Amino acid sequence: MDPAFLGPLVPIAAIVAFAAVKIARLRALPGSAPEVTGRLEALERSVQDVQQELAETQERLDFAERLLSQAREDRRIGG
């Protein structure tokens, strides 16, 4: 799969997952069972972890793209 395609797709998926957690939290009644509240909190932490990993992956992708671009430029110049 083309990495350029994954670039915008992954952040969109993370945003949708984060929104789903927020909606689930809003729908949970204040008097919900502690089990439900605990599961929602665990899910929210998981989404935050995924967002952090996504940010790190995006930084690595940007770095790799810069290296590839620089290598292409060097070859074009004849260096």
pTM of the model: 0.55
pLDDT band at 4, cuts 50/70/90?
low
Whole-number pLDDT of residue 24: 73
CA atoms within 13 A on the CB side of 33: 3
Cα-Cα-Cα-Cα dihedral sign, residues 44, 48, 49, 54:
positive
CA atoms within 13 A on the CB side of 15: 5
Cα separation of 36 and 18, whole Å?
17
pLDDT digits (tens, 9 = 90+) for 28-50: 666 667 788 888 889 999 999 99
Structural domain boundaries of the chain? 3-77
pLDDT digits (tens, 9 = 90+) for 46-71: 999 999 999 999 999 999 999 999 98
**Treating both helix axes as pointing N-terminal to C-terminal, what angle do 3-27 and 34-77 enclose, rounded to 10 degrees?**
160
Top pLDDT among 64 and 1 is at 64
